[in-house]
Amino acid sequence: MSSQPDLDRLQRRLGYQFKQPEYLLLALTHRSYGNQNNERLEFLGDSIVNMVIAEHLFLNFEKAREGQLSRLRARMVKGVTLAEIGREFDLGRYLRLGSGELKSGGFRRDSILADTVESIIGAIYLDSDFDTCREQVLIWFRQRLENLNLQDTQKDPKTRLQEFLQSRQYPLPQYEVISVDGEAHAQTFHVSCALPSLDRKTTGVGSSRRLAEQQAARSALKALGVESEE
């Protein structure tokens, strides 16, 4: 269990001081720890963050179409982004996990970190009000929101490659992890992408398997002549 000084430190990182710290403690409690866990808070926080980001995008991208807004929101609230925010707060050290999750490195897992961020958002809402919660979410996402533009609404390389192949009734690509380098907290993934319509595999490198696969798919699109070299 996290000690009170740890929770004080975490609240300074979050930029929010809980009036009822038990909400924060519950938000940090994974289901593997016991029946009293953060699953219900995660449900609440997921709805709130989607609403807050949707409202911000609606107000700040007046010329964007519905599909563009949806893709921008998906870019912001996807698990990888939420996990990145969780790592910025060093949430892994505060999580309450069952022994199995502790042994398997659950404190580093993207899905657990992302769920915990959403749980904390839900906890802040219960501890305060919607306006306060909105303010916190926008502070946490500020830099990412400022860097958004409508070019970000383009579908990701893996989706574009899959749709191109499906439109021609070609087999789907096969991704394979070639190697993983580095320590657990700073790994580099090397991934290959094999296409029956190409006589060679393309490769990608990234800080996660997903990012490496995206790079390999982008290379495949260029090799197929679908997209030009930048």
The domain spans of the chain are 4-150, 157-223
List % helix, strand, coil for the chain (3-state, nearest 5).
60, 10, 30
Q: How many CB atoms lie within 10 A of CB 74?
A: 14
Is residue 210 within 8 Å of 80, Cβ to Cβ?
yes
- The structural architecture, per CATH, of the domain 4-150 is Orthogonal Bundle (1.10)
Query: pLDDT value at position 229?
Result: 61
The mean predicted confidence, pLDDT, of the chain is 89
In the chain, the percentage of residues whose pLDDT exceeds 70 is 94
Give the containing element (helix H, strand E) for 174. strand 174-181
- Known binding-site positions for Mg(2+): 42, 115, 118
Please give the positions annotated as active site: 46, 118
CATH number for the segment(s) 157-223:
3.30.160.20
8-state DSSP, 20: S
Distances (CA, A) of 16 to 44, 45, 90, 93, 153: 18, 15, 15, 18, 32
Q: Residue 1 pLDDT more than 60?
A: no
Query: pLDDT value at position 50?
Result: 97
Fold agreement (4-150, 157-223): no
Q: Pairing state of beta strands 174-181 and 188-194? A: antiparallel
